[in-house]
Amino acid sequence: MKLQQLLTTTALCALTASMASAGQLVIKGSDTLGAKLVPQLAEAYKAANPGTSFQIAAEGSTTGIAALIDGTAHIGMSSRRAKPTEMSAASAKGVTMKPTIVAYDGIAIIVNAASPVKGLTRQQVEKIFTGDITDWSAVGGKPGKISIYTRNTSSGTYSDFKELAMKKRDYAGGSQKMAGNEQIAAEVGKNAGGIGYVGLAYLKAAGIKAVPVDGITPSQATVRDKSFPYSRPTFFYTNGEPVGEAKAFVDFTLGGKGQAIVSQVGFATVK
């Protein structure tokens, strides 16, 4: 190991130890995981392990991976896999990116509850989000402009959706970027011409409905058996094998109680 890496690793270990010694688990990253699932997991974990505190920041998968590399988080939540450049950046700082699948999620297409659209094909989804189709009449809806709501660029869902649903094409120029799933659901619920995407956990929001894609309705079952086309694993990233409080929390998440919460929130369990 080079001297620079050795010093960096030492500094990170010291920082991590100081965070752990304070009894606080720092978790940063994905809004998909961090808005609902992880806070509920944390509450349940705290109930079973009094004295543990959590600092949770859900600002997008990119921020979680960056925080893990910088040593400012014990766990990086991510709804996408780490990129090669993130892997190399981590290695340069002596951090070994270890992914752990904690749940499966489906990226559901949502429209306003009043919309007559009963389903879309994958090709129609691609054309809507890339701007090839701009009017609802082209896909069986009432004539009117389509308003597109997406996540912002630091979101793992933003890039995952491009890869899963858009053949990596760019989003339509007029699409509006939202900070989180809840904001997308809220906007689509208010806009009769709105369309967006959210994780399974956010399908109960008012004023929206999920549309089947190629006839497959997004659900825990169709996500788990991967028949829903926009299914993906979600991750906790740690620096190597998790240790200490982080290991205990990861084990708790993968355990029976944790997976029950996973299912209760709306994600598909890992088993």
Partner 1 sequence: MSKTSPLQFAVMLTLISAGAAISHAQDAGALVDKLVKKGVLSSQEGEEVRADMMRDFATQTSAGKINLSGSITEMKLYGDFRLRYQYDDREAQIAAPNHVDQRSRWRYRLRLGADVAFGENWFAGFQLQSGQNSDSGNQTFSNGFDNDGIFISKAFFGFKNDWASVIAGKQKNPFYTTDMVWDPDINPAGVVERIDFHKLFGRGLAGPSGDYGTDGKSMAPTEVHGDSSWELSLVAGQLFYQDNNEFNIGTDFKTDGYLFVEQLIGTYHFNKDVSITLAPAWMTFTASHLTGLRNENSFTDTSNVLSTTTTQTTKTDRNRLVVNYDAAGNITGGTLQPFVVTATQVSSPTTTKVGGGSSTGSTTRTVTTDQVRSGATVNLTAAQAKAQAAALGLAQTGPANGQTQRDIDGVAVTTTNTVTLPSIAGETRKLNIITAPGDISFKIGSLKTKVYWDFAYNVDGEGRFNDIYQLRTGNAATDAYRGYKTRDGIAWLAGVQLGETKKKGDWSLNFNYRESGIASLDPNLNDSDFALSELNTRGFKLSLAYQLADVVVVNLTGMMAWNLDRNLSGGRATGGSAIAQDNAINVVQFDVNVKF
**Does 267 engage in binding with partner 1 (CB under 8 A)?**
no
Burial class, 124, CB count within 10 angstroms (exposed 0-12 / middle 13-18 / buried 19+): buried
Lay out the site mask for partner 1 across 213-242 (x = CB under 8 A, - = otherwise). --------------------x-x----xx-
Structural contact between residues 224 and 177, judged by C-beta atoms closer than 8 angstroms: no
DSSP 8-class letter at 208: E
Choosing from 11, 22, 170, 260, the residue that interacts with partner 1 (CB under 8 A) is 170
Q: How large is the C-alpha radius of gyration of the chain?
A: 20
Q: Which is nearer to partner 1, 77 or 111 (CB)?
A: 77
Lay out the site mask for partner 1 across 66-95 (x = CB under 8 A, - = otherwise). ---------------xx-xx-xx-xx----
> Alpha-carbon distance 2 to 6, whole Å?
6
Q: Which is nearer to partner 1, 64 or 189 (CB)?
A: 64
Task: List the beta bridge partners of residue 27.
Answer: 56, 75
DSSP 8-class letter at 135: B
Choosing from 97, 103, 125, 146, the residue that interacts with partner 1 (CB under 8 A) is 97
Choosing from 169, 212, 227, 229, the residue that interacts with partner 1 (CB under 8 A) is 169
> Alpha-carbon distance 233 to 133, whole Å?
29
The site for partner 1 (CB under 8 A) is made up of 81-82, 84-85, 87-88, 90-91, 96-101, 167-170, 233, 235, 240-241, 270
